[in-house]
Amino acid sequence: MPLSEQEQRLLEEMERSLYQNDADFVATARPGRGRTNYRFVAVGVLVAVLGVATLVTGVIIQQPLVGILGFAIMFVGVLLAVAPPRRAAGAEAPSAPRSSSRQRGPSFMDSLNDRWDRRQDGNG
Protein backbone atom coordinates (compact mmCIF):
# COMPACT_ATOMS: atom_id res chain seq x y z
CA MET A 1 0.00 0.00 0.00
CA PRO A 2 1.69 3.25 -1.10
CA LEU A 3 1.96 6.23 1.21
CA SER A 4 -0.15 9.30 0.61
CA GLU A 5 1.54 12.57 -0.32
CA GLN A 6 1.10 13.92 3.20
CA GLU A 7 2.61 10.77 4.72
CA GLN A 8 5.55 10.95 2.32
CA ARG A 9 6.17 14.61 3.25
CA LEU A 10 6.00 13.76 6.96
CA LEU A 11 8.40 10.85 6.48
CA GLU A 12 10.87 13.01 4.55
CA GLU A 13 10.68 15.73 7.20
CA MET A 14 11.27 13.19 9.96
CA GLU A 15 14.29 11.80 8.09
CA ARG A 16 15.76 15.29 7.59
CA SER A 17 15.23 16.03 11.26
CA LEU A 18 16.94 12.79 12.25
CA TYR A 19 19.92 13.51 9.98
CA GLN A 20 20.26 17.03 11.37
CA ASN A 21 19.72 16.32 15.06
CA ASP A 22 21.30 12.91 15.53
CA ALA A 23 24.09 12.50 13.00
CA ASP A 24 26.05 10.17 15.30
CA PHE A 25 23.12 7.74 15.48
CA VAL A 26 22.68 7.84 11.71
CA ALA A 27 26.38 7.11 11.20
CA THR A 28 26.26 4.05 13.49
CA ALA A 29 22.86 2.78 12.34
CA ARG A 30 23.88 2.53 8.68
CA PRO A 31 27.24 0.79 8.60
CA GLY A 32 26.46 -0.96 5.32
CA ARG A 33 26.21 2.27 3.35
CA GLY A 34 29.98 2.65 2.95
CA ARG A 35 32.00 1.80 -0.12
CA THR A 36 32.58 -1.83 -0.93
CA ASN A 37 36.22 -2.78 -0.62
CA TYR A 38 36.71 -5.12 -3.56
CA ARG A 39 40.17 -6.09 -2.37
CA PHE A 40 38.67 -7.74 0.73
CA VAL A 41 36.02 -9.43 -1.41
CA ALA A 42 38.63 -10.81 -3.84
CA VAL A 43 40.93 -12.03 -1.06
CA GLY A 44 37.98 -13.54 0.78
CA VAL A 45 36.83 -15.44 -2.30
CA LEU A 46 40.34 -16.74 -2.95
CA VAL A 47 40.72 -17.87 0.68
CA ALA A 48 37.28 -19.54 0.54
CA VAL A 49 38.26 -21.42 -2.63
CA LEU A 50 41.50 -22.48 -0.96
CA GLY A 51 39.42 -23.70 2.01
CA VAL A 52 37.13 -25.73 -0.25
CA ALA A 53 40.17 -27.27 -1.95
CA THR A 54 41.64 -28.17 1.45
CA LEU A 55 38.31 -29.60 2.58
CA VAL A 56 38.02 -31.77 -0.53
CA THR A 57 41.63 -32.87 -0.15
CA GLY A 58 40.93 -33.91 3.44
CA VAL A 59 37.97 -35.98 2.28
CA ILE A 60 39.96 -37.62 -0.52
CA ILE A 61 42.89 -38.59 1.71
CA GLN A 62 40.48 -39.49 4.53
CA GLN A 63 42.02 -37.18 7.12
CA PRO A 64 39.36 -35.45 9.25
CA LEU A 65 41.79 -32.87 10.63
CA VAL A 66 42.64 -31.66 7.13
CA GLY A 67 38.93 -31.45 6.35
CA ILE A 68 38.24 -29.46 9.51
CA LEU A 69 41.15 -27.15 8.72
CA GLY A 70 39.73 -26.68 5.21
CA PHE A 71 36.34 -25.79 6.62
CA ALA A 72 37.91 -23.25 8.99
CA ILE A 73 39.86 -21.67 6.12
CA MET A 74 36.71 -21.56 4.01
CA PHE A 75 34.79 -19.91 6.86
CA VAL A 76 37.45 -17.22 7.31
CA GLY A 77 37.39 -16.56 3.56
CA VAL A 78 33.64 -16.09 3.54
CA LEU A 79 33.87 -13.75 6.54
CA LEU A 80 36.51 -11.67 4.75
CA ALA A 81 34.37 -11.43 1.64
CA VAL A 82 31.06 -10.65 3.35
CA ALA A 83 31.86 -8.69 6.52
CA PRO A 84 32.46 -4.95 6.18
CA PRO A 85 36.03 -3.89 6.99
CA ARG A 86 36.60 -2.21 10.33
CA ARG A 87 37.34 1.50 10.32
CA ALA A 88 40.67 2.78 11.52
CA ALA A 89 40.69 4.20 15.04
CA GLY A 90 41.52 7.72 13.82
CA ALA A 91 38.92 7.79 11.06
CA GLU A 92 35.62 9.19 12.21
CA ALA A 93 32.44 9.78 10.27
CA PRO A 94 31.75 13.42 9.49
CA SER A 95 28.87 14.78 11.50
CA ALA A 96 26.38 17.37 10.45
CA PRO A 97 26.21 20.60 12.43
CA ARG A 98 23.53 20.42 15.07
CA SER A 99 23.12 24.05 15.98
CA SER A 100 21.60 25.21 12.66
CA SER A 101 18.27 23.47 13.22
CA ARG A 102 17.89 24.92 16.73
CA GLN A 103 18.18 28.50 15.51
CA ARG A 104 15.09 28.23 13.29
CA GLY A 105 12.82 27.11 16.09
CA PRO A 106 11.50 23.74 17.23
CA SER A 107 11.92 20.92 14.75
CA PHE A 108 9.15 18.63 13.62
CA MET A 109 10.19 15.90 16.04
CA ASP A 110 10.40 18.36 18.93
CA SER A 111 6.89 19.55 18.25
CA LEU A 112 5.65 15.95 18.03
CA ASN A 113 7.32 15.17 21.35
CA ASP A 114 5.73 18.24 22.93
CA ARG A 115 2.30 17.23 21.65
CA TRP A 116 2.82 13.70 22.98
CA ASP A 117 3.85 15.00 26.40
CA ARG A 118 0.83 17.31 26.56
CA ARG A 119 -1.47 14.45 25.60
CA GLN A 120 0.05 12.14 28.23
CA ASP A 121 -0.19 14.82 30.93
CA GLY A 122 -3.85 15.41 30.11
CA ASN A 123 -4.68 11.69 30.38
CA GLY A 124 -2.54 10.91 33.42
User: Residue 15 has what pLDDT?
Assistant: 81
Residues 6+ apart with CB under 8 A from 69: 54, 58
In terms of phi and psi (left: phi > 0; alpha: psi -120 to 50; beta: otherwise), the region of 3 is beta
Q: What is the pLDDT along the chain (124 residues), one digit of tens a residue?
A: 777 888 888 888 888 887 777 766 666 666 555 667 788 888 999 999 999 999 999 999 999 999 999 999 999 999 988 886 666 555 554 544 454 444 566 778 888 888 888 887 876 4
The pTM of this model reads 0.46
Residue 21 vs residues 13, 96, 101: alpha-carbon distances, Å: 12, 8, 8
